[in-house]
Amino acid sequence: MKNIKFYIMSFAAVVTLGLSSCVGDLETTPIDPNVQLPQDVLKDEAAFEALLAKCYQGLACSSSDGANGGPDINGVDGGFGQYLRAYFNLQCLTTDEATCCWNDTGLPDMHNMNWQASNQFIVAMYYRIFYQIGLCNELLRQVEANPAGVQFQNKGALVAEARALRALSYFHALDMFGNVPFSTENDAVGAKGPRQINRAELFDYVEKECKALIEGNDLAAEGQNVYGRCDKGFVKMILAKMYLNAEVYIGEDRYAECAAICEDLVATYSLAENFADLFAADNDRFAVGTEEIIFAVPHDGVNTTSYGGTNFLIFAGTGGDMNAAEAGISSGWGGLSVTKQVSERYAEGDARALFFTDYGTEIVDIFTFTSGGYKSTKFRNVKSNGEAGQTTGFVDTDFPLFRVADAHLMLAECAARGKADNAKGLASMKAIRARAGLDVENYNSYTLQDVLDERLRELMWEGHRRSDLIRFGQFTTDAYLWEYKGSVKEGAAVEDHRNLFPLPPADVNANGNLKQNAGY
């Protein structure tokens, strides 16, 4: 299926049109000084598809020029500023799931949970989110304007996919930043200072967008779109995760609605037989039809390269005495470890316990990769049959943004909270545990904490942990401590305002409509 990936991403290199307009929504500056006018480029439907490809590509790469090219956003590093790498830094590195021994300015503050408003890793995520939103807005504007009078065959699908991708990034903004600048294709290009939307309003907006896409006929049905492109399953996952966290976002219990969506998803998509295969270099085979991966961000060691995404997870998770060849790479960067609180939560025989263990569970010196801590080998640039990926410099392993395993665990959680059928919740827990090689014959009940622990084991490094800990009241509090939480080796509680990240001070200062999040 990789050839489909090439087709989608190959369009991105020609798309330089309209970016000054789209980032005008964000008060940011595109790097390319030779922007072409839309009427000079958007002459056929293929050109519009190229702009849509850029919207997809923004999740995987920092620019259209490859890993070493100039990033799309001025002032944001093309390595750590890549969308998925920035997402990992905020959603995983701030939790028990990961530490990083590098001493880049502001990086230790992420795991220590003492970041400042100007932290460059938080700023990178913020601008990546809104660059993506700007791209989608621009595509929707140009489709409506249609400067060359193109006769569309698939206009509805083009628009629906752009709206779905925009909904994803607005969901990430909702989750991580709360009250954010807001604009759509209907806002005037170049309008200075987009208004700030509060979290409840943004929740309502994304919910309505998702429902409209699900109920409409333009977006492909679950499992019916081509590889690497979103469909109604993608949108249902966004909506389910919003409902799962609704008590955090808007103070409302929406678990029953989450459960209803998840019941539909688990009935539609199937779990893969082997857990490890989902994170191998040929995991794209699980991202087609109604296989387990509902949506993957494509990576390809030749055609889709970056220093973020799974490339970062595999290279940064490898180093010291680890065998780089077993990970399918040339040599590791030696950065990421997991805390002992994570590594000790796996039972013997759990197929998901994919770790290099030679340095022990405890991290003695957080700035030395070999000083301790298990190293995750979950993601690898090796196919499930043992064959290596295409290159050892960049990886072929796709990032599974949404998996049906998550829907199973969401359903189980909703049941444990009394908002879904207990038998269905138990069946989902058993399905997840059985695939991991754990006992299910004698597994007849579970608690909410069991669900949280199962989510950790099943979804580690996939970008869910921070949101999960917040929902369970364990992110900032002393209800659960891990190594170096709160800058203390044994762990310590931190201020509750860290449940949200700050808006970049430069944006707040430039836009009088924006008010900084509390505590910053």
pLDDT value at residue 36: 56
Digit-coded pLDDT (tens) for 403-422 = 999 999 999 999 999 999 99
430-471 pLDDT tens trace: 999 999 999 999 999 999 999 999 999 999 999 999 999 999
pLDDT of residue 78: 84
d(Cα 346, Cα 323) in Å, to the nearest integer?
23
User: What 3-state DSSP class applies to 19?
Assistant: helix
User: Which tokens sit at 362?
Assistant: 């405890």
Q: What is the C-alpha to C-alpha distance for residues 55 and 298, in angstroms, rounded to an integer?
A: 13
Look at residues 275, 320, 257 and name the one whose alpha carbon lies nearest to residue 459.
275
Structure tokens at 208: 């309505």
- Residue 63's pLDDT is what? 85
Q: Where are the beta strands (DSSP E) in 25-138?
A: 99-100
Q: Residue 37: pLDDT band by 50, 70, 90 thresholds?
A: low
pLDDT value at position 484?
97
**Torsions phi, psi of 410, nearest 5?**
-65, -40
Q: For residue 459, what are the contacts with CB-CB under 8 A and spacing of at least 6?
A: 403, 405, 406, 409, 465
pLDDT tens column, 152-199:
999 999 999 999 999 999 999 999 999 999 999 999 876 567 999 999
Q: Find the Cα–Cα–Cα–Cα dihedral 439, 445, 447, 453, rounded to 10°.
A: 10
Q: Does domain 2-301+400-510 have CATH number 3.30.420.280?
A: no
pLDDT, mean over the chain: 91
Contact between 375 and 318 under an 8 Å Cβ cutoff? The reply is: yes
Structure tokens at 68: 């070493």
Residue 3 has pLDDT above 80, yes or no: no
| Measured distance CA(3)–CA(11) in Å, rounded | 13
Give the pLDDT of residue 73.
84
Global pTM value: 0.93
Kindly state the average pLDDT of the residues 211-235. 96
- Domain range summary for the chain, segments of one domain joined by +: 2-301+400-510
Tell me which H or E stretch contains 446.
none
